[in-house]
Amino acid sequence: MSAELRAAAGASATLFCASGELRNTVAMVEDLENVVGLAISLAGGAGPDQMLELQKLDHISQKILGVADFLEALGEGLPGDWRVDAHKASRRVLLAELGKRLGSPESAEAPSAPPVSAECEMF
């Protein structure tokens, strides 16, 4: 078996892994919504214009979940023998831990929400 074939991951597993990462991102956005809501409450509230702006966080979550659902649906319909080079593609991901998980989707467990510090890389 060539090194290229060994590096290839199942396309379906890769899409499910990416979907899981998106769902973890939604959890982070929801945490952010809670913090912003608390800050607004402690500051005495926000005006109508600010509230409309804050609704963008909810819209972001809905869009991310929509893409996650789309990727899962694509993965469910793919033949099991379709392979992709997830490792090569993951090298374009700037967050190291995220790239590592996406680059090896078949060996990764269901992604769990990482601690906030793990997603922040100083450069």
pLDDT at position 116 over 50: no
Mean pLDDT of the chain: 81
Q: What is the pLDDT of residue 108?
A: 57
Q: Which of 54-63, 96-105, 111-120 has the lowest mean pLDDT?
A: 111-120
pLDDT at position 21 over 90: yes
pLDDT at position 13 over 60: yes
Confidence of residue 50 (pLDDT cuts 50, 70, 90): confident
DSSP assignment of the chain: --HHHHH-EEHHHHHHHHHHHHHHHHHHHHHHHHHHHHHHHHHT---HHHHHHHHHHHHHHHHHHHHHHHHHHHHHTS-TT-EE-HHHHHTT-SSHHHHHHHHSTTTS-S--PPPHHHH----
Give the CA dihedral 56, 62, 63, 68, nearest 10 degrees.
150
Q: Give tens-digit pLDDT for 55-95.
A: 899 999 999 999 999 999 999 989 989 999 988 888 888 88
pTM over 0.75: no
**What is the average pLDDT across 24-52?**
87
Q: What is the pLDDT of residue 7?
A: 54
